[in-house]
């Protein structure tokens, strides 16, 4: 058993946005590691199918809880059901999110509010609901950010703003929560295989839409999740996932002028705004 699998064995783990993409793969790998899962997402049918699939693989059947991170009270209910089912909560993974994109002149205040309601306030709802239980178990809080929280690009201002906010949140609360024994890990992926680039600005999935990014640039979800779980098990403060993500962050830190020149060219050429941002 790998060190990360050993770390998660028998731990009670809550995952938001668990019905697809990174959340689904987290559930599968954590189930294989022997974690006791609570899967939260809006669509009960997808959660039930995933839970059944994990159980058929020999793992304990996950608890499926319909949950919308934009609704007050849903996360508290999910945490309460997790504790009732498994007796405690050791790890909370705030994974739910989507991307609102487009040139500024095509967007409205409602677009920005919708983005922040899920990507920022949804994370905060997860934290506030889970924290009392995580403090009891000296557990782990995992926040899914993005490389877009480091590098803002034309046509992605709502998404980048939300991920900058999440990164600031993680950096602020990590030392605070460490005082009570809770470790915070911020995960900042680049392009990972998921449905997020097929979801429109209102959060609706278009399953038949073509993946806009070239295949060579996209990291398989299986590999990304292995890296994510390894970072959490090691107690890292932040993990940049994907090679291109690490490159973008390094450029932002040490040669920001290069990124500014590149994004200026993107804006001048009228780049595709749906694909201009690293997304989780």
Question: Active-site residues: which are they?
Answer: 159
Tokens of 248: 């973008």
Phi and psi for 109 in degrees, rounded to 5? -60, -35
Cα 88 to Cα 10, 67, 81, 99, 135, distances in angstroms: 11, 19, 10, 32, 11
What contacts 204, CB < 8 A, 6 or more positions away? none
Q: Where on the phi/psi map is residue 233: left (φ > 0), alpha (ψ -120 to 50), or beta?
A: alpha
The whole-angstrom separation of Cα 191 and Cα 109 is: 27
**Cβ neighbours of residue 91 closer than 8 Å, sequence gap 6 or more:** 8, 11, 12, 13, 14, 35, 134, 139, 140, 141, 142, 232
Q: Which parts of 116-215 are beta strand (E)?
A: 140-144, 183-189
Contacts of 203 (CB under 8 A, 6+ apart): 98, 114, 118
Its sign, for the CA torsion 137, 140, 141, 144, is: negative
Its sign, for the CA torsion 31, 35, 36, 37, is: negative
């Amino acid at each position: 058993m790998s060190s990360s699998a050993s770390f998660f064995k028998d731990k009670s783990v809550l995952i938001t946005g668990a019905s697809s993409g990174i959340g689904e793969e987290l559930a599968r790998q954590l189930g294989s590691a022997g974690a006791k899962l609570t899967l939260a997402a809006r669509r009960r049918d997808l959660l039930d199918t995933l839970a059944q699939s994990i159980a058929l693989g020999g793992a304990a059947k996950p608890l499926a809880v319909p949950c919308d991170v934009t609704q007050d009270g849903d996360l508290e209910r999910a945490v309460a059901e997790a504790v009732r089912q498994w007796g405690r909560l050791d790890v909370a993974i705030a994974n739910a999110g989507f991307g609102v994109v487009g040139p500024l002149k095509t967007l409205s205040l409602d677009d920005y509010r919708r983005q922040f309601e899920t990507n920022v306030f949804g994370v905060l709802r997860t934290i506030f609901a889970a924290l009392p239980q995580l403090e009891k178990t000296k557990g782990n809080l995992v926040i899914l950010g993005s490389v877009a929280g480091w590098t803002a690009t034309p046509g992605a201002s709502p998404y980048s703003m939300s991920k900058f906010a999440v990164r600031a949140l993680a950096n602020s609360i990590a030392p605070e929560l460490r005082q009570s024994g809770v470790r915070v890990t911020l995960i900042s992926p680049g392009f990972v295989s998921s449905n997020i680039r097929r979801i429109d600005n209102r959060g609706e999935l278009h399953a038949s839409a073509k993946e806009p990014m070239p295949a060579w640039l996209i990291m398989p979800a299986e590999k990304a999740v292995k890296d994510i779980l390894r970072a959490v098990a090691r107690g890292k403060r932040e993990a940049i996932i994907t090679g291109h993500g690490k490159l973008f962050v390094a450029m932002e830190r040490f040669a920001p002028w290069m990124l500014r020149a590149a994004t200026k060219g993107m804006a001048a050429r009228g780049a595709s705004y749906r694909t201009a941002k690293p997304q989780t």
